[in-house]
Every structure is written in structure tokens, then in C-alpha cells.
Amino acid sequence: MLETITFSLLNGLLYGMLLFMLSSGLTLIFGMMGVLNFAHASFYMLGAYFAYTMGLYTGFWVALFLAPIAVGLIGAAVERFGLRQVHQYGHVPELLFTFGLAYVVEELVRLFWGNTPMNYRVPEALDFPLFSLFGTNYPAFRVFVLVVAVSMFVGLYLLLKRTRAGLIIQASLSRPDMVSALGHNVPQVFMWVFAFGTGLAALGGVVGGIQLVTEPGMAFMMGPIVFVVVVVGGLGSIQGALIASILIGVLQTFALSVDWSLANLGMVFGYAVPPESFFATIWYMDSTRIAPMLPYLLLVLMLIFRPRGLMGKRES
Amino acid sequence: MTKPRRTAGLFAGLATASAIALASLSTAQADDPIRIGFIDPLSGPFANVGDAGLKHFRFAADRINEEGGINGRQVEIVPMDNNQSASESAQLVQRAADRGIDFVAQGNGSDVAGAIIETVNRNNRRNPDNKLLYLNYAAVDPSLTNERCSYWHFRFDADTTIKLEALSNYMMERDDIEKVYLINQDYSHGHEIERRFQDLAAEKMPNVEIVGTQLHPIGQVRDFSPYVSRIRQSGADSVVTGNWGNDLSLLAREAEDAGLDVNFYTYYAGGLGVPAAIGRAGVDRVAQITEWHANVNVDEGHDEYREWVDAFKERYPDIDWYFHRVYNLMYMLKAAVEEAGSTDAEGVAAALSGMEFESHTGTITMRADDHQMLQPMYISIMDDEVEYDSENSGVGFRTLSRIEVEDATSATTCEMDRP
């Protein structure tokens, strides 16, 4: 039992941290610019592919820094020459633009790197089991992922709350006209926020591409769950994104680790649905089969009962 | 003045068009190519799978053409993109019939295969002059050669029952396999494996205990660590899975990371991006059951076939010759057309039904009862010191056991309507 709990916590935490790396950039962009960036996971994919390709020449450690910067620059260009042009027509064209962009990026990746997964591996310096618990190894690379994610959170938090740049960003979020009147170039702020956000997604891709599989379908695999994190956490809230990521990671892992169904609950109250009744399928359904659905259930419940999310400031 | 002239032009155009249409409608000429409609996903998320199949068919067709074709006629593969949809496939079959194509080939998805069987049956009933044959190279649902079997359908891959039968015959002999865990994708293919393997274990493997079964959603799980913890807690020494693509790659990599000491017995470890994604993590750990793998050519000294495999790799460096059954399919079709003397579906079907064919791996038979191919099977495991690797991963397969035809067969309940 202790074993199950420890591992569910560890694994859930790791998965949650991967989700956080992806969603922190999205929540920034979404919260600040109001742009629902459907192509966000595509930048995550680009991060993985860039890091793999650069890593062949420079090694993993250089690629860890270069790939997010390169992707961030692409993000800046996308904002400057794409999003900004459609911005004047409102949010729906922006949404459609990013939606199309996601498909374009995927096809480009297929074109340049092919359909088969990349042989993107854990760097040698981190390729060893760090410790062994109850007979299961815990790889050093996972701890590295945790470290990267935590430093990302701390860095982001300090940047937004303790620096002048963060002040302007936060002000542009709620009162763009006022910030503009004070002499700041708001469109430029937006451009750099977008670049920064996509760079963060790319950083997630650099480590996520190793932990999961680097292949052209990876963006579409991650896309939906990232939106759940952002909505549950609250738009624009970094802390909210962190809490929501870990919550979803741990929730999903626990549901998979324990055998549980509504029938167990019923037994406490001495009630059972007859096996041949219409609701028996749901009543006896194993939690492991429901687990992958849980984040979406959480999303629906959150939208009904607390539309602004866990830490969101606005109702919209 | 202009009006009548325009009408005359219109008439002339119509006449020409109908003449062309008539010419193309007329029955196949002796020098027309023999066309095979290849129906599989060629765009969308499964494009790589369909594309690999198409390359296999094209390569085999080119070889046959270089050797002089079939009865002096060239073979042409006509790609038809079905988007992995059953209803679109049914329309494509209809279109193939309208275009006078005699054969359709398909492999991915048993739901698609079922729809094609029904459409072909209907077409052959309604258009007796324009019959079609369906050559199935990879859809493994047992019902296709049992409850839903058809005289016009030929399956060249071993179905799930046969694969599990062969696997259980191997497991019976091994005394280091005691506790088996079943993890599968939550759809018909996975359910079928779970059910059949449990039946087989109860029937003939007293030494094997099934310590756990698990279904997971297909293509949605990113984090397999909880599943791996469950496998470890169950104390299993072997895992049987029909997973393919990422569902298999992620599972095997997670097991390696966690230091889980089990062997994986899989259907699809040898292709569809899995070797590239698993790489060395699968060495001596991930096994597959197939009708052939590249290193069989080395072990059994099939030099001619090695040349074939090498030439394929040279033409398509990204993938490997994986579907040995496409070779069997194309050359058996050639033999059948030559025997029938024409591409008339009824004659070719009669020749194919019950046909024995000398393939590289031995004599293989298209069982007349249900049109299911019976062939030797190989259980092979990932190895990084073999001559042929898969998908440039540095890891290939080494044969653990060759299961002879007698041990790789299953009963059928098929009662087909024969013309």
C-alpha cells in the first residue's frame, strides 16, 4: 500500500510537472493576450525536434538552451507577421489562425523529419537509476525533469512578481490602453510574451520528447490535456497552472494504481446496483478505465462550479 | 449563325467523350495492365502505416513486371486513400469495380476489412460480370474468416487465434514462463486477445497463471508508469500485448526505465515506428510473433530474398521490408492468374482457394475452408547484434522459435457460399 502511494505520488508529480512546463506558456499567452493558442503543443513538438537535431551536433546540454531560444524566435515571428495581422479582426480569426498553424507545423515536421519516431534518448550523463525504491528504479532523468520544471516555476514567478518587466506584462494584461498611454509599446510586449510562452513550451518539449516519444503525432496527443490544465488552473495564473498540473497528474496516476469502482462506495452503505440493470456498466466500471477521462470530467465540473478556475482572477 | 455551329461542336464533343468512355468500359485488353486497388490510409494520423504498405506493394509489382509480368501483362498498383474510414473504403471498393479493377488489397483495421467484405459480396452478387477479389494483408480479426467469412476474401496474415495458438505452443514448452499479464488496447482487437489467451491458458497451459489483465484507452495514454507498477506488483514474468505504435513504445520504454524484469510478447514490435522508438531498451526483452523477419533470411540462408530486402532498403531508406506476406500475396496472385488464364475473379478465386505455395519459409497453404493462410510463424526477440536492424535503430530481431504450420493453425466455423 505504502509502495503504491509512494509511486503514484512520484509518477503523478513527474507527469504533472511535464504538463506544467507545457501549460505555463499557454496560460501566459491566453491570460495576457486572450489568444487561445491551438498551436501551443506544436511549439512543444518543435522544441523536441530542434533539441534532437541540434543535439546531434552540439550535445544535449547546449541544445537544452538553444532549442527553446530558436523556437521562441519562431514564436516571435509568428506573432509579429501572423497573429498581429489577424488580431484586428477579433478573437475568432486568431483562433482559426492558430488552429491552421498547428496542422501546418505538423505537416512540416513530417516533411523534414519523416513519419517515424526520432531516436531521441536520455543524455549519457543522466542515464542511470538514481535510487531504487521497493525494487523499482527511479531514473535520474526524471529527477532532472523535476528540477527543470521547478526552476522554471520559480524563475517565472520571480519574473512576473518581482521585476519591472513583469509589472508591465501584468499591467498590459488588464489595462493595455493605459500601459500604452504611459509610453510602452504594448504590441511589442505581446510579441515577447508570445515568444517567451512558446519558448517555455519548447523547453517542455526538449525534456518531454525524451520522456515520451518524439514523433509527428506528439503535438496532437498533448494538445487537449494542456487546455484542461489552463482552464482548471485559471487563465493567466502560473500558480494555478502548477497546482492544476500536479492535481491532474496525481489524480490520473492514483486512479490507475488502485482498483476502485462505484460499487466499492456502495458496499460501505450496503447498497448494490443489480448486475443486469442499465446502470451496472457505470456502477461496476473499474477506475483504471475511467482514469484517462478524469481530467476532462474535472474540466466540465470546474466550468460549471467555478468558471474562473482555481486561481483565476477574472470570470471571463 | 453561331448557334448551330456551337451545337454541332457540342455534339462532336459528346460523341468523342462517349467514344472514349465506351473504349474504357470495354473489357480488359490483353495488353492492359492488371490493376490492384490499394485501399489504406494515405493521409492523416495513420498515413505512415498505409504508406509503408503501399511501398511494399509497389516494390513487389515492379519486381513482377521486371520478370515479365503476369501472362505478359504488367501489374499496376492503384493507391486509394480511405482515411482509415470504413464507409469511405466501401465507396472506394465500388469505385474500383466501376473502373474495372479486379483486385482490391487492404490491411489496416478490421472494421474497414469487414466493410470491404460486405461491399465486395454485394458487388459480386449484383454485378456478376464485374466481380472483385479482396486480398487482405493485415487485418487480423478472427471473425473475418469465421462468422463473416466470404469466398471473395483471402487473408494472408495469421489471424489473432493463430498467433495466440502459436504463442501458447511456445509458452507450453518453456518452464520459465509461469505468470503472464495481459495488457491491451480497449477495442475489439485488444478484447479479442484478452479473451482468446485466457481460453487457451485454461485449455492447454497448466503451467501458466494469468496474474492480471488490463485494458487501456487506445492512443491516449502518455504515462504508462502506473501500468508498469501494476505489472510489477502482480509478479508477472511475461506480458502479452497486442498494442501497436506509441502504445507499445511507451509501455516498453517505461518498463525499461523502471527496471521491470519481464519479457514482452507482442504482435507489432517489428514495425510501425516501434523499433525506432524503443531502440536498445527492448534488447532481450521485447519479442514479436510474425510470419517472418529479416534475420530469418540470414539464419535459413535465403540469399535471393536477402537481395530483395536489400534492394527495398536501397529504394526506401526510411523503412524496411516488413510485410513478407505482401510477397506471398503478389506471387500467389500471379500463380492464380496464370492458372486461371485470365483475371476473371471467379477463376482466380478458385485457383487461390486451397493453393499451396512455396514461400521462403516453407510450404504455405491458403486453406480452402475459410481462405485463411496457414504458414510457419516465428517468435523473435530484439537483439542488437544481428545482421539486419529495423528502422535504422541498431536493433533487429533474433529467432527464439520457429512454429511449424501444424502448430500454427486453428479451427474455423466458416460456412461460405461458393459460386
Q: DSSP of A173-225, one letter per residue?
A: HH-HHHHHHTT--HHHHHHHHHHHHHHHHHHHHHHHHHHS--STTHHHHHHHH
Question: Is there a domain that residue B286 lies in?
Answer: yes
Q: Which of A11, A117, A139 is facing B273, going by the closest CB pair?
A: A117
pLDDT score for B25: 46
Confirm if B403 and B376 have CB atoms less than 8 A apart.
Answer: yes
DSSP B372: B
Are B245 and B102 part of one and the same domain? no
Tell whether B371 and B381 lie within a shared domain.
no
What's residue B22's pLDDT? 46
For residue range B298-337, list pLDDT tens digits in order. 999 999 999 999 999 999 988 899 999 999 999 999 999 9
For residues B353 and B232, membership in a common domain is answered with no
Mean pLDDT of A174-198: 86
The answer to whether the CB of B263 falls within 8 A of the CB of B239 is: yes
The domain containing residue B314 runs over which residues? Answer: 31-158+293-375
Could you tell me if B276 and B382 lie in one domain? yes
* Residue B321 covered by a domain: yes
Q: Which one of B229, B254, B278 makes the best mutation probe of the A interface by having the most chain A beta carbons within 10 Å? A: B229
Residue B246 to residue A252, Cβ atoms within 8 A:
no
CATH number of the structural domain spanning residue B304: 3.40.50.2300
Q: What is the pLDDT of residues B191-210, one digit of tens each?
A: 889 999 999 999 888 888 99
Q: Give every CB contact of residue B350 below 8 A, 6+ residues apart in sequence.
A: B340
Burial class (CB in 10 A: 0-12, 13-18, 19+), B114: buried
Q: Specify the pTM.
A: 0.79
The residues on A that touch B, with CB distances below 8 Å, are: 3-4, 7-8, 11, 14-15, 110, 114-119, 121, 129, 132, 135-137, 139, 142, 212-213, 215, 217, 220-222, 225, 249, 252-253, 256-257, 288-289, 291-292
Kindly give the residue spans of alpha helices, DSSP state H, lying in chain A: 2-33, 40-58, 60-78, 84-87, 91-113, 140-162, 164-174, 176-181, 186-211, 218-233, 238-257, 262-268, 280-283, 287-290, 294-305
Q: Which of B215, B226, B249 is the closest to A289 by Cβ? A: B215
Residues B266 and B180 both lie in one domain: yes
B192 and B269 inside one domain = yes
CA-based nearest residue to B36, from B169, B115, B134 = B134
Q: 3-class DSSP state for residue B81?
A: strand
Tell me: do B336 and B222 sit in the same domain. Answer: no
Of residues B200 and A280, the one with the higher pLDDT is B200
Q: Where are the domains of chain A?
A: 16-247
Q: For residue B417, is it within any domain?
A: no
Are B400 and B261 within one domain? yes
What count of CB pairs under 8 Å joins A to B?
96
Q: Compare CB distances from B229 to A7, A139, A222 and report the shortest one's residue.
A: A7
Same domain, B73 and B128: yes
User: Out of A130-139, A207-216, A289-298, which region has the weakest mean confidence (pLDDT)?
Assistant: A130-139
Reported ipTM: the value is: 0.74
Same domain for B251 and B385? yes
Q: What is the pLDDT of residue B48?
A: 77
pLDDT at B30: 59
Number of domains in chain B: 2
- DSSP codes, B29-76: PTTSPEEEEEEE--SSTTHHHHHHHHHHHHHHHHHHHHTT-BTTB-EE
Residue pair A28/A157 in contact by the 8 Å Cβ criterion = no
- Is B183 within the bounds of a domain? yes
Looking at residue A34, its pLDDT comes to 76
Residue, of B286 and A265, whose pLDDT is higher: B286
Based on the domain organization, do B336 and B398 belong to the same domain? no
Angle formed at CA B246 by CA B242 and CA B248, multiple of 5 degrees? 35
Shared-domain flag, residues B40 and B171: no
B10 found inside a domain: no
